[in-house]
Structure 1
């Protein structure tokens, strides 16, 4: 639970900070003397509860609370004051609680317990997931609800944070690690503030589909609750693991799995932190596609093999085995023109681009099929 304290006495900031820090799962997001500063944070971040002193020097705490209630209906408010006579006047602001100074630890814990119960009630009503989220991360990043509506990102950083947590597949990631990778050029103090804003924006983006709750955090760590998420790159890797061997019975399923790989992880987004995972998934795809291509050639399906291997060549232009497989596919198709064109293409690739002789394996394979076609 994230809370803010608005009180014109700095001593009260210290007292509330100390008392709240003793309560499990409570984070003091800020302490302010001036309501305007607090409102700026509440606009940009996910805040659950605000403690407001009714007497705020030049400001009227009741008016501040009414303004907050009008702009943020889900925000809970607790009045903290030395003046009992304000209690009746505060009722039209619908406060969660009204506390008289000096506040005791036990009284504060009761209030926090009430706030936690309210948050639970609101989550059960507002944040009921509407089906699953479908994530296409291979070849870009697109998130859709079960009804086919795309999730609309509030900012590029909120989208990037979702992608970063998605890549970790439900495993917790420390706040410091997120700052290191998502805000690499920003001073740590500023980044620590911006991450709260980004999390708030991300939850707001997911709120419309009832999936705000999937952004979980505790003890300076964040993670995605993966149960309502169907991500293509996870499905691809899970399915590939089922094809240790290929047969006539599972080849169509293997081809369907291969088609899941529509591009590199996050593709044009070019997230630097995603590079190791992009490479790992790319290499997994190349090995799997080669496995399918070899099976198709061995079982006299050169037309299917050629279609698949041409796609494989476009993803791995400098892979020698892939070029050999495509040359073999043209040979088994019995197409001398295509065989000659592709051999010439490979020769140019090696001699003109790499300035080295064409490997002898290509020449032998080409001559073998040229003789029998």
Structure 2
């Protein structure tokens, strides 16, 4: 039997609906509340399947409350009950099962309960199919947020708004960590009032869960004690792997050089390169700094091993992502000199000189110019 909660600030309306559902026989009423705050406090422990919700209550409308309830419980079907027809469009925002007009009559309640049961049956079949497959999802942050399936193909996620995608990016960066609601609203809506920011978060979180589900991506977002956390079973991420490896490998040697090369290949571009999230700027710079340092250490290992060609390739890739990294340019000049490749030495020096002048309005440092001239004289 479907378990439901009723929320209506008018006691007669609350009792009438409870009695009508009792007579219907397909719904077990496990809670009835006149105050939204009471319902929000108890909803997680009750774990209802559905909520019959009055659209107009003191201090909060039904859509706002519905979003908070969905945030707290995840899968929850909403049936709105109201005396006004003007809220139908608002009800669409949370994909309400039905929209009942007061005064209630048995026929419309029967229709709503029938719709509810059909929706729950279809959802159950879908979720069983998903559980039987359990595809792996890979989240890519370098170069721009993308979600890949088991075959490495990009899943087409229809982000309802740019903030929906930004919220996914923010949660991805936090990984398995708990994230306070206040951290999210401060990062994504710093210029909004607290009330508006909270409302934006509830709406955007609902849209995110809906978008992931529609794309067949099995990522669950939990909310408890004012904190969000992603459940990441069978989910991998390039940024997580990159950070984990960096933290555990401070030295490059023969034992880990191959893995260093593999990890550096994860860096396909700046973190969330296709979006200008203010909250991600410092993290983006940190990731680039790690990439540069690890690339140089690997290059140093290759040089010590006499593997000059591999060192040249690695520095070349580094300069694709950090074209103004002067030390990398100097390393590459030195490698061409080591290989006695005069043509590549000249070509790269002039390309570097043009780049510095175009981007920064500067000439190469005196020490670099002197180094270049000394190399030319010896070739």
* CA offsets 1:300-351 (integer angstroms, 9 cap, x no match): 2222222221232343344332122111111112111222343455566778
Q: Tell me the equivalent position of 2:267.
A: 261
Contact 2:139 2:237 in 1 (8 A): yes
Q: How many residues align?
A: 335
Aligned ranges 1:195-274 → 2 under 5 Å: 195-208=201-214, 210-211=216-217, 214-274=220-280
Mean Cα deviation higher: 198-207 or 240-249: 240-249
Partner Cα distance (2:219, 2:320) in 1: 40
**2:76 maps to which residue?**
48
Shift in CA distance, 250/371, structure 1 to aligned 2, threshold 3 Å: farther
**2:379 matched to 1:360?**
no
Deviations 1:166-208, CA, capped at 9 Å, x for gaps: 1111212222221111122333222221211111111111113
Q: Given the superposition, is the C-alpha separation of residues 213 and 253 from structure 1 closer, same or farther in structure 2, using an over 3 Å criterion?
A: closer
Alignment partner, residue 93 of structure 1: 112
The one-character-per-residue Cα deviations of 1:84-124 (angstroms, maximum 9, x if unpaired) are xx779845532899xxxxxxxxxxxxxxxxxxxx9x97996
CA 190–88 in structure 1, closer or farther in 2 if over 3 Å, else same: same
1:319 equivalent in alignment to 2:325: yes
Indicate if the aligned counterparts of 2:8 and 2:35 stay in contact, CA closer than 8 A.
no
Q: State TM-score, norm by structure 2.
A: 0.70
Cα distance, 1:151 vs structure 2: 2.6
Paired residues for 1:176-187 under 5 Å: 176-187=182-193
Whether contact under 8 Å (2:6, 2:53) holds in the other structure is yes
Structure 2 Cα separation of the partners of residues 172 and 277 of structure 1: 18
Taking the aligned partners of 1:153 and 1:325, their CA distance within structure 2 comes to 43
Q: What root-mean-square deviation, in Å, do the aligned CA atoms of Structure 1 and Structure 2 show?
A: 4.6
Counterpart position of 2:288: 282
- The equivalent of 2:44 in structure 1 is 25
The alpha-carbon deviation at position 161 of structure 1 amounts to 0.3
Normalised by the length of structure 1, the TM-score is 0.71
> Is 1:141 aligned to residue 145 of structure 2?
yes
- Deviates further, 145-154 or 120-129: 120-129
| Counterparts in 2 of 1:266 and 1:303: CA distance versus 1, 3 Å | same
Q: Describe the superposition over 1:188-231 as per-residue Cα deviations: whole angstroms up to 9, x where unpaired.
A: 22222121111111111111355465111112222212333211
Aligned equivalents of 1:140, 1:350: Cα separation in 2: 27
| Whole-angstrom distance in 2 between the partners of 1:94 and 1:351 | 71
Of 139-148 and 274-283, more deviation after overlay is shown by 139-148
Q: Which residue of 2 aligns with 1:329?
A: 335
Tell me the residue number matched to 1:110.
none
3-state SS of the aligned residue for 1:216? Answer: strand
Q: Give the gaps of 5 or more residues in structure 2.
A: 15-31
Q: Is the 8 A contact 1:140 1:268 kept in 2?
A: yes
Corresponding residue SS for 1:94:
helix
Question: Structure 1 residues 17, 72: closer, same or farther in 2, change over 3 A?
Answer: closer
Segments of structure 1 that go 5 or more residues without pairing to the other structure are: 98-117
**How has the CA–CA distance of structure 1 residues 301 and 366 changed in structure 2, closer, same or farther, with 3 Å as cutoff?**
farther
Match of 1:297 among 303, 314, 320: 303
